């Protein structure tokens, strides 16, 4: 099954991940994470399938995260609140997100990609 690669083209980490996928000959379709921000339902599914807490899906080093004062907002936020925040703006989402519909990875660590996405 082809992968779906949620990315932001100006993101250095995304570029590294894309390069790895291309060099490995992995079949994927790419989705611009800001122009086509995943829905709450999609994000909820990503969180469940990744087995990571919703908090791990935030781009904590991003400008939008700081502008919206997310650090304080997340202190008392429920998982549902977090998913709503993530769905409200693609720049809040840590990227890239890669999924085959079963597994989900967030960010780019080569070892993780080799383990999950190598042919």
Residue 110 falls in which region: left (phi positive, over 0), alpha (psi -120 to 50) or beta: alpha
Give the chain's domains with CATH numbers.
3-117 (3.40.30.10)
For the entire predicted model, the pTM comes to 0.94
pLDDT in tens, 64-108: 999 999 999 999 999 999 999 999 999 999 999 999 999 999 999
The pLDDT of residue 2 is: 87
- Look over the chain and give the mean of its residue pLDDT values, rounded to a whole number: 96
Report, as an integer, the average pLDDT of 28-52: 97
């Amino acid at each position: 099954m082809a992968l779906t690669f949620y990315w932001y083209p100006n993101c250095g980490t995304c570029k590294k991940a894309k390069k790895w996928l291309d060099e490995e000959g992995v079949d994927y379709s790419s989705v611009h994470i800001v122009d086509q921000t995943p829905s709450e339902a999609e994000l909820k599914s990503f969180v469940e399938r990744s087995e990571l807490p919703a908090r791990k899906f935030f781009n904590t080093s991003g400008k939008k995260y700081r502008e919206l004062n997310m650090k304080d907002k997340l202190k008392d936020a429920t998982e549902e609140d977090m998913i709503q925040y993530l769905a409200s703006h693609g720049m809040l989402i840590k990227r890239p997100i890669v999924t085959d519909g079963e597994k989900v990875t967030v960010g780019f660590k080569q070892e993780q990609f080799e383990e999950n996405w190598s042919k």
